[in-house]
Amino acid sequence: MSSALKMTCLECSAVNRVPADKLSAGAKCGTCGARLNDGKVRALDPATLAKAQRNDDVPLLVDFWAPWCGPCRMMAPAFEQAARSISPQARFAKINTEDHPNVSGKFGIRGIPALILFQNGKEIARQAGAVPAPAIEQFVRRKARL
């Protein structure tokens, strides 16, 4: 029997347990039925981010961005490409710092885009500035316990 990994549904915020050997089998949320790890980038609010940050065993890379930020908009396709490429080993999400200005202060973000990698209840790494998809993937593979 494989160990279970905790994953917060990025749609409804429910915490789910997924057998590790079933991670790539298209696991769905037991509450809302959304796919837990489908390689898509999800938009987060601060409450869902806090819950996922606190609970998730699977690495979660969060892009802190704003719509007025040129480098943020330029990096968005690369971030989505990296999310598809590295799934199901890690999940990717974005939080709009314009809509949620308190998150910048909470996480000590001084410039955007900023990538923060969370796993097992803590921040494990951060990367500042726009980077291409291969560099994003390498960052996650190097820093996370995959």
Tokens of 72: 């943020």
Question: How wide is the angle at C-alpha 27 spanned by C-alphas 81 and 35, nearest 5°?
Answer: 55
Q: Which of helix, strand or coil describes residue 141? A: helix
Q: Is 72 a catalytic residue?
A: yes
Distance CA 106, CA 89 (A): 27
Q: Of 12, 29, 32, 69, which one is the catalytic site residue?
A: 69
Q: Is 29 a catalytic residue?
A: no
Q: Of 9, 12, 32, 72, which one is the catalytic site residue?
A: 72
Tokens of 54: 């606190």
In 3-state terms, the chain is what percent helix, strand and coil (to 5)? Answer: 35, 25, 40
- Rounded to a whole number of angstroms, the distance between the first and last alpha carbons of the chain is 19
Annotated active-site positions, please? Answer: 69, 72
